Chains A and B, each alone.
Chain A
Amino acid sequence: MPYLQIIDLKTHFPVKNADPIKAVDGVSLDIHQGEILGLVGESGCGKSTLSRTVMQLIAPTGGQVILNGEELTSLSASEVRHRRLDFQMIFQDPYASLNPRMTVFSTLAEALRTRQPKLAGSDLNHAIAELMERVGLDWRYIRNYPHEFSGGQRQRIAIARALAPQPKLIIADEPVSALDVSIQSQILNLLNGLVAELNLTMIFISHDLSVVRYIADRIAVMHFGKIVELGESEQLMKNPRHGYTRELLASIPKIRDTA
Chain B
Amino acid sequence: MPLLEVTDLKTHFHTRNGIVRAVDGVSFSLEKGQTVGIVGESGSGKSVTCYSLLGLIPMPPGKIESGSAIFGSTDLLNCGEKKLCQIRGKRISMIFQDPMTSLNPYLRIATQITEPLRLHMGMDRKRALKHAIRALGEVGIAEPEKRIQMYPHEFSGGMRQRVMIAMALITNPEILIADEPTTALDVTIQKQILDLIKERQRELGTAVLFITHDLAVISEVCDEINVMYAGNIVERAGAEELFKNPRHAYTRALLKSIPALHAKGEELYTIPGLPPDVSQPINGCAFRPRNELGDSAKCLPNHRPVLKDTGAGHWVQDCPGCLA
Q: What separation, in Å, do the CA atoms of A250 and B268 have in the docked complex? A: 24
Interface residues in A119-153 (C-beta closer than 8 Å to B): 150-151
Known contacts A42-B188, A251-B187; decide if A256 and B219 are in contact (CB<8 Å). Answer: yes
Assess whether A210 is in contact with B270, with CB atoms less than 8 Å apart: no
Question: Chain A contacts of B260 at CB under 8 A?
Answer: 210, 213-214, 255
Assess whether A182 is in contact with B253, with CB atoms less than 8 Å apart: yes
Q: What separation, in Å, do the CA atoms of A247 and B186 have in the docked complex? A: 12
> Which of B240, B245, B268: most chain A CB closer than 10 A?
B268
Interface residues in B187-204 (C-beta closer than 8 Å to A): 187-191, 194
Task: Name which residue of chain B comes closest to A216, CB basis.
Answer: B264
Assess whether A185 is in contact with B41, with CB atoms less than 8 Å apart: no
Task: Name which residue of chain B comes closest to A41, CB basis.
Answer: B186
Interface residues in A208-259 (C-beta closer than 8 Å to B): 208-211, 213-215, 233-234, 247-248, 250-259
A181 interface neighbour in B188, B213, B245, Cβ under 8 Å? B213
Question: Chain B contacts of A233 at CB under 8 A?
Answer: 264
Question: Chain B contacts of A258 at CB under 8 A?
Answer: 243-244, 246, 255, 261
Interface residues in A26-45 (C-beta closer than 8 Å to B): 42-43
A180 interface neighbour in B213, B240, B255, B267, Cβ under 8 Å? B213
**Does B167 make an interface contact (CB < 8 A)?**
no
Q: What separation, in Å, do the CA atoms of A258 and B262 have in the docked complex? A: 12
Assess whether A253 is in contact with B216, with CB atoms less than 8 Å apart: yes
A252 interface neighbour in B187, B254, B270, Cβ under 8 Å? B187
Q: What separation, in Å, do the CA atoms of A255 and B222 have in the docked complex? A: 12
Interface range, B side: 35 or more
**Does B269 make an interface contact (CB < 8 A)?**
yes
Q: What separation, in Å, do the CA atoms of A207 and B214 have in the docked complex? A: 14
Q: What separation, in Å, do the CA atoms of A181 and B257 have in the docked complex? A: 7
Assess whether B220 is in contact with A253, with CB atoms less than 8 Å apart: yes
Question: Chain A contacts of B257 at CB under 8 A?
Answer: 181-182, 184-185
Assess whether B271 is in contact with A251, with CB atoms less than 8 Å apart: no
Question: Chain B contacts of A251 at CB under 8 A?
Answer: 187-188, 190-191
Interface-located stretch among A71-79, A101-109, A163-171, A186-194: A186-194
Taking the closest CB of chain B, its distance from the CB of A55, in whole angstroms, is 24
**Does B42 make an interface contact (CB < 8 A)?**
yes
Known contacts A185-B259, A248-B188; decide if A254 and B220 are in contact (CB<8 Å). Answer: yes
Q: What separation, in Å, do the CA atoms of A259 and B274 have in the docked complex? A: 26
Q: What separation, in Å, do the CA atoms of A57 and B215 have in the docked complex? A: 37
Question: Chain B contacts of A213 at CB under 8 A?
Answer: 259-260, 264
**Does B265 make an interface contact (CB < 8 A)?**
yes
> Which of A192, A208, A233, A252: most chain B CB closer than 10 A?
A252
B244 interface neighbour in A150, A186, A192, A256, Cβ under 8 Å? A256
Assess whether B187 is in contact with A207, with CB atoms less than 8 Å apart: yes
Known contacts A181-B41, A182-B41; decide if A256 and B258 are in contact (CB<8 Å). Answer: no
Task: Name which residue of chain B comes closest to A258, CB basis.
Answer: B243
**Does B217 make an interface contact (CB < 8 A)?**
yes
Assess whether B219 is in contact with A254, with CB atoms less than 8 Å apart: yes
Assess whether B259 is in contact with A253, with CB atoms less than 8 Å apart: no
A42 interface neighbour in B186, B194, B216, Cβ under 8 Å? B186
A150 interface neighbour in B188, B239, B258, B274, Cβ under 8 Å? B274
Question: Chain A contacts of B240 at CB under 8 A?
Answer: 256
Taking the closest CB of chain A, its distance from the CB of B5, in whole angstroms, is 27
Known contacts A182-B257, A184-B257, A247-B188; decide if A189 and B264 are in contact (CB<8 Å). Answer: no
Q: What separation, in Å, do the CA atoms of A112 and B213 have in the docked complex? A: 37
Q: What separation, in Å, do the CA atoms of A53 and B77 have in the docked complex? A: 55
Known contacts A252-B187, A254-B219, A258-B255; decide if A180 and B41 are in contact (CB<8 Å). Answer: yes
Q: What separation, in Å, do the CA atoms of A43 and B267 have in the docked complex? A: 29
Binary flags per residue of A151-185, CB closer than 8 Å to B gives 1, else 0 = 10000000000000000000000000000111011
Assess whether A189 is in contact with B267, with CB atoms less than 8 Å apart: yes
Q: What separation, in Å, do the CA atoms of A186 and B243 have in the docked complex? A: 22
**5 A-B pairs with the lowest CB-CB distances in the bound complex, closest first:** A214-B259, A210-B260, A251-B191, A185-B257, A185-B268
**12 A-B pairs, CB-CB below 8 angstroms?**
A184-B257, A184-B259, A185-B259, A207-B186, A210-B258, A215-B259, A252-B187, A253-B194, A253-B219, A255-B215, A258-B244, A259-B245
